[in-house]
Amino acid sequence: MNEPAPALPRLSFDFKDGADFSTNVYHEWLQTNGRGGYASGTVVGCNTRRYHGLFIPTLEKLGRTVLMARLEETALVDGERYRLTSEEHEEGSALEDGARHLRHFQLEGLIPVWEYAVGRARLRRRFVMVHGEDTVFLAWEHLSGPEVTLHLRPFPVLRPHDGPLLKDIAESIVTLRGSLVELRNGEDGPQQRMRLYSDGPTPFVSLPETSKPQHLRVEKARGYDFTEVQHSPGYFAATLKPGATLYFGLTTENAGHLLERAPSVVFERELTRQQRLLERAPEHARTGVPARLVLAADQFIIDPPRPADAAWARSMGLDARSVIAGYPWFTDWGRDTMISLDGLTLATGRYREAAAILRTFQHYVRDGLIPNYFPDGENEGVYHTADATLWFFHAVDRYVEETADEALLRDLFPTLQDIVAHHQKGTRFHIGVDPADGLLRQGQEGYQLTWMDAKVEGWVVTPRRGKAVEINALWFNALRLMADWAERLGLESGPYRGAAEKAQGSFNQRFWNEAGGCLYDVVDGEDGREDAHVRPNQVFAISLKHPVLKRDKWAKVLEVVRRELVTPVGLRSLAPGSKDYKPKYDGDLRARDAAYHQGTVWGWLIGHYVDATLKVAPDLKAARALLSGMEDHLSHGGIGQISEIFDATEPYRPRGCFAQAWSVAEALRVFAKTNVG
């Protein structure tokens, strides 16, 4: 007898008298399509970022591009007009109708659902981005009351999602083809096809309208241009009778994607796909917070938006996969991918995708380095990173340990040998082993090579050039793994063990800060001195599979970290009291980057802190308690997601990307690790 499919988790919010605009304008939703494209907005239907839009696909050569900024949705009931969306025109001047009429919002799995009270009628609105396609559908269901006439006015644009906002009117070329409305913005823009699924002729009214300047409050707060003028070529009109559902489709695919299937089936299939994600996950991850995170994890795993990746993978009978580091602005990053691989794929039962991710990045190894990241719309990676490649070893180990896939290990091992050799002789950006002590040093003027990588206007905020603590923890771990793997494959392991012993001896001698009772962050720094700032990087000297720090120092280090850095949503990047400490991440780009790693809390670090604490005191209940803040955060910021960073002081306001891969991955991984049944 087949077991019933797992119930999809729901996050629900009720607004008896309408939603508070000032609060819910900061609550955001996200839809993705597994190809790097996405749609996002706020619960109250007011765009606050340049990255908000109903349709932001990944286009070849252009990268992620905003094609449909918004739909202005109006309901006519009993002769009265009600807007279902909100917008701001200037600071302090907002049309808050979308919030005032909103009565309920929820995530059903990953699908956002709104319910509105408009006069005597009640409407339910749902949105889906089709997985594997550049297609979106919206549905309006009439729940109760008299019939409703809906007017839907699209505002198409054409700009890179992080590009300059539009100031000039850009009219669309509109063509009516049967039930389809085709439009194109600019010569380089793709053709968009729209369809309103209603009886009779195409219900499109050609009545152009130019918007008032749209005020994007989050862009203003971030110090960027914050107003945009948008142009609409017309609107759709249709009557929605009690009990009926009206659908709207939008695609850059061929016409068949709108003509040859029922939109209701699209919604059903997406819900089924999400249920199957839960079925593949371990049993303990099919309900509660872990189930929510399993679905959140899915939004980061993508087919790489580089045609060459698919071509080489197909030629070898393989898959190509990668990981979007964060929405809305990150692309696929090597460091984030390797740190996230365990939580995104192994903790969710997605072993085939895990192998494909490892092979994809193996394909891009150059001079012993994996890419730091891939720029939007480009085919080659950028390699200025000292730690992403070392995290590759950690990811391989976690995959092999989970799957016992020795065939993949054999395929990867020559690449791993080459990486070690390049690091031992020295490679790009002065990354290389110091023969005197066996420790790994790195650093080149003008580059930020560790994960603490903020740079603005040529200013590298935390250069950390020299021998960084986490780089050498990762280096030792990699050497020990290589020795273990060599033995497993029947190869010579002695050189790796010897190099590891030398590095470990030097590490424990050089990095211990007796006065602070913890580890230096960097030794042999730019001025030849040790950096005694208390930062979270020392946790990796304990948390990794092969801890480089001797056991007798573990408890002392963790006590300092607990006292100075731990918060309910992650670890501070610098201890309070340091002269460079910044309690809040706000202001313009320079101010934000000055705070990015100078106190700002990083959610992903909670994972390795939990690992380290369990090594010292294996108390699962106490470790699970460290995650309570993450559970609460799922209902704030990016709904159903975990943010990139947080302010360093209460209320720990979420900042940066509202959905971050390694934040989700590490939370999910340690939720599983601390499962007490």
Instruction: Decide if pLDDT at 140 tops 70.
Output: yes
Band (pLDDT 50/70/90 cuts) for residue 200 is low
Specify the pairing of strand 28-32 against strand 180-184. unpaired
Residue that is written with structure tokens 């309910």 in the block: 568
pLDDT of residue 226: 96
Q: Is 170 exposed, middle or buried, given 0-12, 13-18 or 19+ CB atoms closer than 10 A?
A: middle
Instruction: Decide if pLDDT at 437 tops 90.
Output: yes
Instruction: Give percent of the chain with pLDDT exceeding 70.
Output: 99
Handedness of CA 162, 163, 169, 172 (dihedral sign): negative
- Report the half-sphere exposure of 307 (CA within 13 A, side-chain side): 3
Instruction: Decide if pLDDT at 6 tops 90.
Output: no
Instruction: Decide if pLDDT at 505 tops 70.
Output: yes
Please state, in angstroms and rounded to a whole number, the distance separating the CA atoms of residues 651 and 5. 38
**pLDDT tens digit sequence for 554-588:** 999 999 999 999 999 999 999 999 999 999 999 98
Instruction: Decide if pLDDT at 4 tops 80.
Output: no
Q: Which two tokens stand for residue 448?
A: 């930020």
Instruction: Decide if pLDDT at 1 tops 60.
Output: no
Give one word for 636, left, alpha or beta, with left for phi > 0 and alpha for psi -120 to 50. Answer: beta
Bridge partners, 194 (sequence order) = 181, 250
Instruction: Decide if pLDDT at 454 tops 70.
Output: yes
pLDDT of residue 81: 97
CATH 2.70.98 placement within the chain: 10-274
pLDDT of residue 486: 98
Please state, in angstroms and rounded to a whole number, the distance separating the CA atoms of residues 156 and 183. 9
pLDDT of residue 677: 66
Instruction: Decide if pLDDT at 23 tops 80.
Output: yes
CATH architecture of the domain 281-565 equals Alpha/alpha barrel (1.50)
Q: Which two tokens stand for residue 530?
A: 């040790």
Please state, in angstroms and rounded to a whole number, the distance separating the CA atoms of residues 365 and 354. 17
Summarize the confidence of residues 243-257 as an average pLDDT. 96
Summarize the confidence of residues 82-110 as an average pLDDT. 93
Please state, in angstroms and rounded to a whole number, the distance separating the CA atoms of residues 292 and 299. 12
Contact yes or no for 570/603 (Cβ under 8 A)? yes
Instruction: Decide if pLDDT at 91 tops 80.
Output: no
Band (pLDDT 50/70/90 cuts) for residue 246 is very high
Q: Which two tokens stand for residue 603?
A: 């959610």
Radius of gyration of the chain measured on its C-alpha atoms: 26
Residue that is written with structure tokens 């729901």 in the block: 10
Summarize the confidence of residues 333-342 as an average pLDDT. 98
Band (pLDDT 50/70/90 cuts) for residue 317 is confident
The domain 10-274 having CATH identifier 2.70.98: the answer here is: yes
Cis peptide before 651 (omega within 30 of 0): yes
Contact yes or no for 408/386 (Cβ under 8 A)? no
pLDDT of residue 201: 66
Among the residue ranges 194-198, 377-381, 400-404, 651-655, the one predicted with the least confidence is 377-381
Contact yes or no for 97/412 (Cβ under 8 A)? no
Alpha-carbon distance values, 119 to 20, 82, 122, 496 (Å): 19, 8, 8, 73
Instruction: Decide if pLDDT at 76 tops 60.
Output: yes
Nearest to 68 by CA among 218, 251, 210, 227: 251
Summarize the confidence of residues 380-407 as an average pLDDT. 97
CATH 1.50.10.10 placement within the chain: 281-565
Give one word for 426, left, alpha or beta, with left for phi > 0 and alpha for psi -120 to 50. Answer: left
Q: Over the range 236-261, which residues count as b (16 or more CB within 10 Å of their CB) and which as e?
A: bbbebeeeeebbbbbbbeebebbeee
Among the residue ranges 451-460, 493-502, 535-544, the one predicted with the least confidence is 451-460
H helices of 189-252, in order, are: 217-221
pLDDT of residue 189: 80
Instruction: Decide if pLDDT at 93 tops 90.
Output: no
**CA 64 and chain centroid, separation:** 14
Summarize the confidence of residues 76-103 as an average pLDDT. 92
Please state, in angstroms and rounded to a whole number, the distance separating the CA atoms of residues 481 and 544. 11
Length of the chain equals: 677
- Report the half-sphere exposure of 189 (CA within 13 A, side-chain side): 24
pLDDT of residue 2: 61
Please state, in angstroms and rounded to a whole number, the distance separating the CA atoms of residues 603 and 638. 14
Please state, in angstroms and rounded to a whole number, the distance separating the CA atoms of residues 228 and 168. 9
Nearest to 427 by CA among 375, 482, 383, 374: 383
Please state, in angstroms and rounded to a whole number, the distance separating the CA atoms of residues 186 and 338. 39
Nearest to 62 by CA among 330, 379, 300, 378: 378
Contact yes or no for 522/467 (Cβ under 8 A)? yes
